[in-house]
């Protein structure tokens, strides 16, 4: 087979007319500037690729993000998700990381691939052009000759070790759970005793990340190791999330460790409760929802993904803790389509999954409610959460000799310390 060089040198002939006698040379239509796809068929020297990767990360990212210097790093608003307060950190030599959505990379090529959705060759060419590095376009494009691979035994590779957050870094936060706004709301629903037990069981504390009252959630894995830390600011009277600009829920594990290089991986909120508990697992999005549902519906073990930027339901490295268990999914109304897809994928992975879409079927257009919102509609005049029989959900757990709701309510102010 003649090479492309020989074909170009000899000319490629075709026929002009129907009799095939008038032969004229037909030259290949080669583009003046090779496309990125054509670079797939040419070898860029490793030394040149390394030079392109070593391009100043801040010089490239600052063309997309307004950065300001903060110590040895640069910060700005993350280009991968909408936010009001900058959580995107760029280190000139260590890479970029977003504390809000978890986006991260090591060099400009990584950033262009992630932000613009380009392939590696396309990103290399783009960064080279931005940095003024010339890729020799005169290099001939030689068709790749298929190479029959030599099959060798697969060597087991050691996975990257997962880092954990030391217990002592959050001990004081967990001990001060009564200072969180979420605890105050729970105390108004369940009373201080059950609210305290709930926070201790799930691993909820307080901190001053967004000022006094900020709630701190701990993500423990099935072995009790702390995988991540999340902060949310709630309004104590309503239990709703504070939606003031700059006070969005945030994953702060790397900030707790003061180290952007650690390999922290999220897990389900409440994952540690799966140990030695055989109850059917119910999964919701919100940490608050899981905790609220755990009292009126104790037949389930309630855990949470932590929302759209939380633990992935379909990631085998995360959902492995659910193997062999019956799983019921309770998505938010606006997440029903995404959770339908997740349920189907979980079934393909061999899980026994049930999806509850009752709320979505009866919700108004544009609703973002979840099962906790439905539960919270059933409350007494003093705020105590009631069950389907119109008595407090913790009645049986606290004072089983009460037989009359009115009698119980006369007693509740003394017992619950309503705020």
Q: What rounded mean pLDDT belongs to the chain? A: 78
Task: List the one residue out of 233, 216, 178, 214 whose CA is nearest residue 417.
Answer: 178
d(CA 389, CA 368): 27
Task: Indicate the burial class of 21 (C-beta count within 10 angstroms; 0-12, 13-18, 19 or more).
Answer: exposed
Instruction: Please check the confidence at residue 104 and state whether its pLDDT lies above 50.
Output: yes
How long is the chain?
Answer: 419
97, two tokens = 């990381």
Instruction: Name the DSSP class of 274.
Output: G
Q: How confident is the model over 95-104, as a mean pLDDT?
A: 87
pLDDT band at 134 (very low <50, low <70, confident <90, very high): confident
Task: List the one residue out of 259, 275, 264 whose CA is nearest residue 227.
Answer: 264
Instruction: Name the DSSP class of 55.
Output: S
Instruction: Name the DSSP class of 320.
Output: G
d(CA 391, CA 412): 12
Instruction: Please check the confidence at residue 267 and state whether its pLDDT lies above 80.
Output: yes
Q: 10 Å Cβ neighbour count for 224? A: 12
Instruction: Please check the confidence at residue 19 and state whether its pLDDT lies above 60.
Output: no
Q: What domains, with CATH codes, occur in the chain?
A: 1-30 (no CATH), 32-131 (3.90.580.10), 163-264 (no CATH), 266-377 (3.40.1360.10)
Q: What is the pTM (predicted TM-score) of this model?
A: 0.58
Count Cα neighbours of 290 within 13 Å in the Cβ-side half-sphere.
27
Give percent of the chain above pLDDT 90.
43
d(CA 309, CA 1): 54
Q: How confident is the model over 29-53, as a mean pLDDT?
A: 58
In tens, the pLDDT along 282-298 reads 999 999 999 999 988 89
- Decide which of 116 and 214 is more confident: 214
pLDDT at 396: 46
d(CA 346, CA 268): 15
pLDDT at 108: 93
Least confident of 35-44, 220-229, 267-276: 35-44
Instruction: Please check the confidence at residue 148 and state whether its pLDDT lies above 70.
Output: no
pLDDT at 45: 77
pLDDT at 384: 53
Query: In the β-sheet with 214-220, what is the strand arrangement from edge to edge?
Result: 204-207, 214-220, 226-232, 250-251
Q: How confident is the model over 383-388, as a mean pLDDT?
A: 52
pLDDT at 82: 81
d(CA 143, CA 156): 34
Query: In the β-sheet with 352-355, what is the strand arrangement from edge to edge?
Result: 300-304, 280-284, 326-329, 352-355
Task: List the one residue out of 281, 380, 308, 358 whose CA is nearest residue 100.
Answer: 308
């Amino acid at each position: 087979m003649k090479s492309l060089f020989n074909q170009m040198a000899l000319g490629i002939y075709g026929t002009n007319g129907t009799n095939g006698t008038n032969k004229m040379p037909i030259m290949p239509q080669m583009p003046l500037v090779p496309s990125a796809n054509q670079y797939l068929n040419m070898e860029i020297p490793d030394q040149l690729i390394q030079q392109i990767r070593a391009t100043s990360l801040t010089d490239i990212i600052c063309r997309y993000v307004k950065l300001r210097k903060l110590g040895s790093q640069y910060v700005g608003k993350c280009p991968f998700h909408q936010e009001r307060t900058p959580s995107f950190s760029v280190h000139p030599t260590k890479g970029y990381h977003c504390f809000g959505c978890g986006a991260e990379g090591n060099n400009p090529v990584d950033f262009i691939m992630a932000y613009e959705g380009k392939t590696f060759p396309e990103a290399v060419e783009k960064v080279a052009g931005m940095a003024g590095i010339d890729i020799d376009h005169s290099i001939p494009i030689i068709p790749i000759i298929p190479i029959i691979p030599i099959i060798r035994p697969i060597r087991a590779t050691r996975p990257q070790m997962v880092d954990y957050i030391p217990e002592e870094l959050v001990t004081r936060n967990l001990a001060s759970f009564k200072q969180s706004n979420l605890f105050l709301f729970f105390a108004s629903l369940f009373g201080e005793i059950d609210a305290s037990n709930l926070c201790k069981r799930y691993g909820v504390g307080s901190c001053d990340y967004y000022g006094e009252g900020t709630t701190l959630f701990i993500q423990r894995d099935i072995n009790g190791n702390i995988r991540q830390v999340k902060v949310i600011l709630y309004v104590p009277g309503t239990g709703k999330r504070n939606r003031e600009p700059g006070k969005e829920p945030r994953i702060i594990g790397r900030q707790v460790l003061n180290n952007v290089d650690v390999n922290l991986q999220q897990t389900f909120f409440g994952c540690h409760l799966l140990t030695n508990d055989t109850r059917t697992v119910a999964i919701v999005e919100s940490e608050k929802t899981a905790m609220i549902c755990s009292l009126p519906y104790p037949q389930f073990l309630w855990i949470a993904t932590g929302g759209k930027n939380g633990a992935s339901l379909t990631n085998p490295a995360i959902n492995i803790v659910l193997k062999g268990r019956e799983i019921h999914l309770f998505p938010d109304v606006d997440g029903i389509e995404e959770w339908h897809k997740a349920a189907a994928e979980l079934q393909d992975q061999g899980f026994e999954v049930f999806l509850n879409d009752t709320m979505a079927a009866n919700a108004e257009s544009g609703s973002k409610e979840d099962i906790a919102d439905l539960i919270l509609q059933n409350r007494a005049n003093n705020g105590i959460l009631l069950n389907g029989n119109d008595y407090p959900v913790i009645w049986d757990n606290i004072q089983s000799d009460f037989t009359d709701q009115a009698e119980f309510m006369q007693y509740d102010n003394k017992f619950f310390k309503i705020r």
